[in-house]
Amino acid sequence: MNESRLNLSTGLIALYFFCTGCSSALGAGQKPLLVRYLSPLPDSKYILPVTNIIVRTDGPIADDAAQGLIRVISGTLSGIHSFAVRVSDDGRTVVCQPATPFSLSEGVTVLLDTSIARCTGPAQAGSFTFWIAPSYVDPTALRAKLRASDFPESVSARKQAQRTRPAAVTDGIVLPVIDVTVSEATSPGYIFLSNLNWSYASVPALLILRDDGSQVFARDLENNGYDFKPQPNGMLTYYDDGPQEFLEMDQTCTVIDTFHCGNGYGTDPHELRILPNGHALLFGVDNEIVDMSRVVPGGYTAAKVVGYVIQELDQKKNVVFQWRTMDHFNVTDATGIDFTATWIDYAHCNAIDADTDGNLLLSTRHFNEITKISRETGDMMWRLGGKNNQFRFVNDSVGFSYQHAVRRIDNGNITLFDNGDFHVPPYSRAVEYAVDTAQKTATLVWQYRNTPDVFGYAMGFVQRLQNGNTLIGWGAGNPTVTEVSPSGNKVFEMTFDDGVYSYRAFRYNWQPVISSAPRVGEGSPVSYALSQNYPNPFNPSTVIRYALPGRASVVLEVFNTLGQQVATLASGTEEPGFHEVRFDASGLASGMYFYRLAAHTASVTTSAGAPAGGSGDFVQTRKLLLVR
Instruction: Compute the CA torsion angle 230, 454, 392, 366 (nearest 10 deg).
Output: -70
Q: Domain boundary residue among 508, 540, 567?
A: 508
276 within a domain of the structure (yes/no): yes
419, 405 in Cβ contact below 8 A?
A: no
Question: Quick one: 178 and 273 in the same domain?
Answer: yes
Q: Residues 159, 286: one domain?
A: yes
Please check whether residue 442 lies inside any domain of the structure.
Answer: yes
Report the CATH number at residue 607.
2.60.40.2550
Residues 162 and 123 in one domain: no
For 146, which DSSP code? H
Do residues 539 and 586 touch, judged by C-beta distance below 8 A?
no
Domain assignment of residue 352, given as a range = 143-508
Task: Give pTM, 2 decimals.
Answer: 0.79
Which parts of the chain have pLDDT scores under 70? 1-29, 137-174, 198-201, 514-524, 602-616
State CA 453 to chain mean position distance.
Answer: 31
Domain identity same for 204 and 237: yes
CA angle 287, 293, 298 (to 5 degrees): 115
Read off the pLDDT of residues 341-382 as tens digits, 9 standing for 90 and up: 999 999 999 999 999 999 999 999 999 999 999 999 999 999
173 with 194: CB under 8 angstroms? no
Q: Are residues 492 and 542 in the same domain?
A: no
Supply the CATH number for residue 78's domain: 2.60.40.3710
Which residue type does 625 have?
L
**Per-residue confidence (pLDDT) for residue 617, from 0 to 100:** 77
Q: Does residue 523 sit within a domain?
A: no
Listed in sequence order, the residues at least 6 apart from 588 whose beta carbon sits closer than 8 Å to its beta carbon are 560, 566, 626
Same domain flag for 151 and 123? no
Q: Residue 22 and residue 16: Cα distance in Å, rounded? A: 10
Same domain, 467 and 578: no
- The Cα diameter of the chain in Å comes to 85
Whole-Å CA distances, 335 to 207, 421, 612? 35, 11, 70
Is residue 455 included in any domain, yes or no?
A: yes
- Please check whether residues 422 and 554 belong to one and the same domain: no
Contact of 76 with 106, CB cutoff 8 Å: yes
Tell me, yes or no, whether 263 lies in a domain.
yes
By the 8 A CB rule, do 118 and 35 touch?
Answer: yes
Residues 367 and 415 in one domain: yes
| Spatial distance between the Cα atoms of 505 and 211, rounded to a whole number of angstroms | 13
Residue 69 shares a structural domain with residue 203? no
Domain end, chosen from 131, 156, 188, is at: 131
Neighbours of 242 (CB within 10 A): 15
Residue 517 belongs to some domain of the structure:
no
DSSP 383: E
Rounded-to-integer distance, Cα 358 and Cα 356, Å: 5
**Which of the listed residues 131, 164, 185 is the one where a domain comes to its end?**
131
Please state the domain count of the chain: 3
Same domain, 365 and 415: yes
- Amino acid present at 596: R
| CA pair distance 420, 458, nearest whole angstrom | 9
515 located within any domain: no
Looking at residue 170, its pLDDT comes to 55
Position 471 scores a pLDDT of: 98
Classify each residue of 8-27 as buried b or exposed e, where b means 16 or more C-beta atoms within 10 Å of its C-beta.
bbeebbeebeeebeeeebbe
Instruction: Flag whether 521 is in a domain.
Output: no
User: What's residue 535's pLDDT?
Assistant: 75
The whole-number pLDDT of residue 564 equals 92
Same domain for 28 and 162: no
Domain of 370: which CATH number?
A: 2.120.10.30
- Classify 98 as helix, strand or coil: strand
